[in-house]
Chain A
Amino acid sequence: MKRQVARQFRRALGTPRPVPAAALPLHASRCYSTHPPNAKLNLPIEYGSTPLLAHSADVVQKNIEIPIEVRNGATKKLNLFQAVNDALGTALAEDESVVVFGEDVAFGGVFRCTMKLAETHGSERVFNTPLSEQGILGFGIGLAAEGMRPVAEIQFADYVYPAFDQIVNEAAKMRYRDGSNGRGAGGLTVRMPCGGVGHGALYHSQSPESLFTHVPGVRVIMPRSPIQAKGLLLSAIRSNDPCIFMEPKILYRAAVEQVPVASYELPLSKAEVLKEGSNVTVVSYGQPLYYCVEAIRQLEAQRPDVSIELIDLRTVHPFDRETVFSSVKKTGRVMIVHEAYTTASVASEVAAAIQENPDTFNRLEAPVRRVAGWDIHNSLAFERFHLPDITRMYDNIKRLLDY
């Protein structure tokens, strides 16, 4: 069943092309990717022109986080799954202790992230496992405990729960309990596709990151773009902490940009200020950032006196408090956005940290707003009302400004 759905996803994940209405006998509301004809805010994301992606090599050259010789070197147009594939290929090539495995990874993976890796690096290092998430994670922890750098794949983040015990009780605590013996599961990286995709319903849409942000000992990372996917995944694989790497599957094919060909890392637990501003701080990560950019653009167009700062957390646990705090000290107003449910979420933690810090608390001019999925399950027909969209972000920024 899982596989069948995955196959449908692969087809559906292609960049949506406008289809002439006449060619389509179906009622418009039956089509998952359409938007209402009168909408001005909730328009489809133009991934081909969004400022969040490096559409040319000279944008890459301005990225000071990437070593100068790498960013001035060759770049290649990659989408997010190709960037993941590139990072895995790089990791496998440069370190023979790297091993890649999971359900259906040998033929290339249901999202194509492991294409050609088995052929290039051998079926001993890139292989299928039986269909058992607790087995995959336990196996990965055992490999890591013996000094390897396993990269395990969970086919959908929605299916990580059988492995929860292995992640929380074992991977996260292994170094702590081993003490001065010095062993641990730090070599482990767990990749999992996450997030809404338009029609994933209950079990192909979830964003369970906050379940892992409550776990000391793991790092939880979510990239928003191919450049990030490559740099952050390489950092995660080389990191000595167990890393949970969540890939927004809606971006696998949609997000395309110029990615440096050479190997590079991006820092973990370090946020990135995407746009500077002085009136409101918007904090987000992963796919909603594209909506944030649109909401901000619309609002700034209407209110030229207002400028909004946008921050990408990148690592949601442990998150970069300093960058968030210094932004809030400047703006005094905050909105935190993500797809996951609102209650006890990453937004809750960021909001609490802002409230707790005297410097940011004193500076707040409006209550912190959490814009996230409602506390309901992701149901098939209602996704457009459930996940935060441009209109909700626009409305919430307005409320912050008008408070």
Chain B
Amino acid sequence: MKSRMLQRVQLRASTATVARSRVAALGSVRAASSVSQRPNSEFVQFPGALKSAFTHSLNFENPESYKALPTYRVVDQHGVVVDSSFEPDISEQQVVKLYKDMLFISIMDLIMFDAQRQGRLSFYMVSAGEEAVSVGTSSVLDPEDVVFCQYREQGLFKERGFTTKEFMSQLFSNRNDPGKGRNMPIHYGSKKLNVHTISSPLATQLPQASGAGYALKLQKLQNPESKARVCAVFFGEGAASEGDFHAAMNIAATRSCPVIFICRNNGYAISTPTLEQYRGDGIASRGIGYGIDTIRVDGNDIWAVREATKKARELALQDGGKPVLIEAMTYRVSHHSTSDDSFAYRARVEVEDWKRRDNPLTRLRKWMETKGYWDEAKEKEARDALRKEVLREFSAAEREKKPAIKTMFEDVYDELTPGLKAQMQELRELIDNYPDEYDVGEFEGGKETLKS
């Protein structure tokens, strides 16, 4: 017994020396592994879990023993305010603007969906039922905050000021499309509005948002005069099953990145219901596991979305920056895309119920009507005006030329490589030799642009 005690003292002395010298050598570098177990401590001081109390009862944590995280709402389905502390922070005019933004998206969705059915554009995705998430979050972010989208966030573009012409130019991939006709429809992007161009691979934008958020944080550190900004990133509950979701949440937490993760949990990933997507308490419960401040909100309540995002933005900028997760519960009223018939995997009546009973547009409209901001006449007038605007830009965009053929070789590298120049020349010769085989007339500048 005595000798054991003696040995212990020696050991402790030697560990202490090692720890000191290591700290000195590492300088400012954080060494989390320099924790040691104190004698008689009630907590396990393993480096991997610092404040875990010892327990002598063998007990597995059962997810079902926890109540599902609550869903924050401000206004109920009937347009009645349920959060008594709620005071609208914007004027009547601004509320009407948000409503019209949502309305615009729902009208454009109908027109473009039909246009796709007529074969006038290759593809489309509507965002019916989810307009409040995109418009609501957008309305409380700073216009200079950087945003990454998945693809069902048309409302954010609209709220930020994307014009009808810009929507249509992208959808018809004409010469005014900044994406130069390279992307499928609805893959919008805007440098002016600080929204990164959408890409089809799911969840890839999530770790990118963590990196972008870290860039914003560093830029603020390097230039303290500059504005503090956050990065916001949207994704569906299906995308959250990708490895990139895990990577993004974890790295954002460990590097304290000012990022707001906004999950649109609409119940379906194409045909897969959430029951086959996960078994935990949605996406929100995972945020806590990563050490991230998390809230679940009613995504059909634009006021709840706004309040939560406003607070999330504050939190994200606190203490030098940290990530926040918002899970917005909604229902995908529409088909997944124009290539999908959702009645193949869910009942039509279920969809009709959601449309009728709980819809973000009607909820805000009911609230506005109780305030005297809105009525049937205004509704009709707004609908007509928006419909006319969309149709006008629709036909203008449809008539525009496509981008120059040369642009298909550009922007692969910073400059055209000798190999690409040679391939461009080869295409040019092919078109020269088989003029009847290729329709170059609809492209700006015809085949002439292929001259390097």
Contact = CB atoms under 8 A, between A and B. Distances in A.
Interface of A: 96, 99, 106-107, 118-119, 122-125, 127, 129-130, 132, 134-148, 150, 162, 165-166, 169-170, 173-184, 186, 216-217, 219, 239-241, 269, 318, 321-322
B106 interface: no
A239 B413 CA distance: 10
Contacts of B305: none
Interface in B179-201: 179-180, 182-183, 187, 189-191, 196-197, 199, 201
Given A124-B221, A150-B211, A129 B204 contact: no
Contact of A217 (B27, B196, B412): B412
B29 A123 contact: yes
A180 B411 CA distance: 9
B212 A143 contact: yes
B286 to A, nearest CB: 15
Given A142-B211, A143-B214, 16 more contacts: A107-B26, A138-B208, A139-B214, A142-B209, A143-B211, A148-B215, A166-B204, A173-B199, A174-B199, A175-B412, A177-B183, A181-B189, A183-B191, A183-B196, A217-B412, A219-B413
Nearest to A147: B215
Residue among B190, B208, B254 with most chain A CB within 10 A? B208
A87 to B, nearest CB: 20
Nearest to A141: B208
B411 A138 contact: no
A256 B157 CA distance: 55
Interface in B116-164: 146
A140 B179 contact: no
A48 B86 CA distance: 76
Residue among B191, B209, B210, B411 with most chain A CB within 10 A? B411
Contact of A170 (B187, B190, B201, B221): B201
B433 interface: no
B362 to A, nearest CB: 36
20 contacts: A118-B28, A119-B26, A119-B27, A130-B250, A132-B247, A134-B207, A135-B248, A142-B208, A144-B211, A145-B196, A145-B215, A146-B146, A148-B215, A165-B204, A174-B199, A177-B187, A178-B191, A179-B411, A182-B191, A318-B413
A123 to B, nearest CB: 6
Interface residues of B, number: 54
A52 B337 CA distance: 58
A216 B182 CA distance: 15
Nearest to B191: A181
A178 B28 contact: no
Top 3 A-B residue pairs of the complex, sorted by shortest distance between their CB atoms: A142-B211, A138-B207, A135-B247
Given A134-B247, A186-B414, A179 B179 contact: yes
A130 B251 contact: yes
Contacts of B208: 138-139, 141-142, 145, 170
Nearest to A322: B418
Contacts of B406: none
B218 interface: yes
Residue among A136, A174, A177, A240 with most chain B CB within 10 A? A177
A174 B413 CA distance: 10
B255 interface: yes
Residue among A138, A140, A180, A183 with most chain B CB within 10 A? A138
A145 B419 contact: no
B243 A134 contact: yes
Contacts of A217: 412-413
Contacts of A148: 215, 218
Nearest to A181: B191
A180 B178 contact: yes
B199 A132 contact: no
Interface string B23-66: 00011111000000000000000000000000000000000000
B28 A122 contact: yes
B301 interface: no
A250 B255 CA distance: 32
Residue among B180, B214, B219 with most chain A CB within 10 A? B214
B177 interface: yes
Interface string B420-446: 000000000000000000000000000
A239 B414 contact: yes
A134 B250 CA distance: 12
A197 B207 CA distance: 32
Contact of B210 (A142, A165, A179, A184): A142
B244 interface: yes
Contacts of B196: 145, 178, 183
B226 interface: no
Given A132-B251, A173-B199, A239-B414, A138 B419 contact: no
A175 B29 contact: no
B332 to A, nearest CB: 24
Contacts of A135: 207, 210, 244, 246-248, 250-251
B318 interface: no
A129 B414 contact: no
A269 B416 CA distance: 12
